[in-house]
Amino acid sequence: MNGETVAFYILAVITLAGGLVVVTSPNIVHSAVALIPTFLGVTGLYVLLSAEFVAGIQVLIYAGAITVLILFVIMLTEGGTGVRVRQRNEQSALGAVVALAMAALLIAVATRVPWPAGAGALPSYTPGAIGQSFLGPNLLVFEGTSVVLLVSLVGAIVIARKEE
Amino acid sequence: MLLDWAYVAVFAVVGAVMVALPLAVIWLISPRSAYPLKRETYESGMPTIGQAWAQFNVRYYLFALVFVVFDVEIIYLYPWAVVGRSLGALAFVEILVFLVILALGLVYAWRKGALEWM
Amino acid sequence: MPWYLELLRAAAGTVIIFSAVAVVAAMFGVLLERKISGWIQSRLGPKHVGPQGLLQTLADTLKLLQKEHIVPRNADVVIFSSAVIVVPLAALLDYVVIPFGTTRWGPLIFRDLNIGLLYFAATSSLVVVGILMAGWGSNNKYALLGGLRAAAQMVSYEIPIGLALVTVAMLAGSLSTVTIVNAQAHLWYVVVQPVAFLIFLTAATAEVNRVPFDLVEAESELVAGYFSEYTGMRFALFQLGEYGEMFAMAAMAVTLFLGGWHSPWPGPSLPPVLWFVIKLYAVIFVFMWVRWTYPRFRIDQLLGFSWKVLIPVALLNLVATAFVVMVLHR
């Protein structure tokens, strides 16, 4: 039981607890704000995987920008009045059964399959290595990303401005 | 490297405690004479009119949206900034293409009035 | 060293930084603001409490500590209370990567993260979420409106800050703040990148909601904006967040553009920490000078200025710098 394992468990608890609040809270603003500990927990998990650049991005984009976006959306719609969302419906019991079956399946797969261990050293996740990767071998993906961003920007503006 | 982040985690936790400390102090020593009128929402001394929420303009959302797209763009610029100089002219052209495509997005948003407030 | 000593070291460092920021930024900074504003307006600032008014902010803090703790009716208590912690905490998290000087044992920095600049940008964006929570949790339409406007303003100005950071990172070839300061040992980046420096300072002023960009908390407009409903110490904690963030931005400006702890001339001179403090206060003085000189922007002018002026200029500066770096590197 070394420090990393302890850190992993703590971060896992934070992430799962945050996620639980997001999914089950009847107050939608609470759900949105609970995203923050969830994202920060994931950030910690990235750090444990030696991917600090990705961790930094996670905080910057998810906890910083996406949460703000979601909160703006909530505050602009009726959910913002503190309308309490119903958390259960007539199919809750059946849904719980399906969820448990799914969980059992995933756990069985994760623990019983003999995953091949990766050979060689861990690839470097420093900003320098990432930069060399997407400016070199993965160039097409990189330029493709800019097109995807452009398309999503245009699409969102078209949809949001439709009301006039 | 992990030690760096352990330090940051300690900073965050100890920091949260230190920020909460004055709040604990006031909870202990502040006077408690709240009566219902004191807890009314502030509206320049008048009783409030309407709920605390009104139909806010979609402008707020558009700004946050354009911000997200440009934030993701800046994320790609960080690794490039670190290694770009050693990769020569090709990397420069590649990043130029990237920036031009996103500048087109900015121009589109500008022309369509997404950057106007009201 | 064993883990409990590391833990103690980290905790001690945190306490020192927090206390230093609380005293230097919040208390002394507020006093400095009042004195400078007085000087610019041809009057004396506070002079009564302590010698030359030095204990004024301490007295104010003690007063605020005794104020009644009121939570408005129908306020969302969980969010209302968490916002008070999130805003100053996010502002103070900025200080992890700021190098205050160098000693013979190495740079005086809490932790020199490999992704220092990215970390700084990330923690600055966490403040925005805290402000939205404060505006929402108050159940007050003025606070909510103030919070939404503040958030829109702050996110709009984060892009120019990010672009300025990227430009400096490109010059130094690293995201680590200590590396960037060391790269300026012979030439400060303000000489090479005056445009990025100006963009950073302007965007930083807007990011901290200071005049001329302080519409969201202007007393005559929205009461006190997103923190209208916060009394006593909670209000003081928000102020701590705001002044702490301002000092952090100034410290980052010194680190990125003004050579950090390096002295302007080679050879023996003042200790590095002292140089850092001098430069820091020079930048703070500029921030305060601007505040008491310019009128306030309207919200549409403010947002338009960022998206239509600062960002295109920053992008062009970035491309031009990249071009020059590429040519020179051959």
* Domain spans of chain B, in order of start: 2-111
Q: Which domain holds residue C225?
A: 69-328
Contact flag B105-A134 (C-beta cutoff 8 Å): no
CB contact under 8 A, C125 and A59: yes
CA proximity to C246, closest of C122, C92, C130, C118: C92
Q: Residues of chain C with pLDDT > 90: what percent? A: 22
Q: At what angle do helices B2-29 and A3-24 cross, to 10 degrees?
A: 60
Task: Give which of B111, B64, A154 is closest to C156, Cα–Cα.
Answer: B64
Is the confidence at residue C27, as pLDDT, over 60?
Answer: yes
- Quick one: which of C193, C207, C196 has its CA closest to C246? C207
Q: Cite the beta strand spans of C150-224 per DSSP E.
A: none
**pLDDT exceeds 70 at position A57:** yes
Structure tokens at C246: 């301002």
In a domain, C63, yes or no: no
User: Which pLDDT belongs to residue A164?
Assistant: 52
* A131 has a chain B CB within 8 A of its CB: yes
* Higher-scoring residue by pLDDT: C83, B34: C83
Which residue of A48, A65, A127 is in closest CB contact with B67? A65
**pLDDT value of position C143:** 75
Domain at B2-111: CATH architecture = Up-down Bundle (1.20)
Domain A1-83 fold is Four Helix Bundle (Hemerythrin (Met), subunit A) (1.20.120)
Q: What whole-number percentage of chain C has pLDDT above 70?
A: 89
Q: CA distances (Å), C95 to each of A64, B76, B80, C223, C271, in order?
A: 18, 24, 25, 30, 21
Q: pTM of the prediction? A: 0.90
Q: Residue C14 falls within a domain, yes or no?
A: no
How confident is residue C22, by pLDDT bands cut at 50, 70 and 90? confident
Chain B residues in contact with A150 (beta carbon < 8 A) = 101-102, 104-105
Q: Between chains, do B82 and A131 touch, taking CB under 8 Å as contact?
A: yes
Q: Is C319 on the interface with B (CB under 8 A)?
A: yes
Q: Does C236 touch chain B if contact means CB atoms closer than 8 Å?
A: yes
**How far off is chain C from A59, nearest CA to CA, in Å?**
6
ipTM greater than 0.90, yes or no?
no
Mean pLDDT of A43-57: 91
Per-residue pLDDT tens over the stretch C44-80: 777 776 676 677 777 777 777 777 666 766 667 788 8
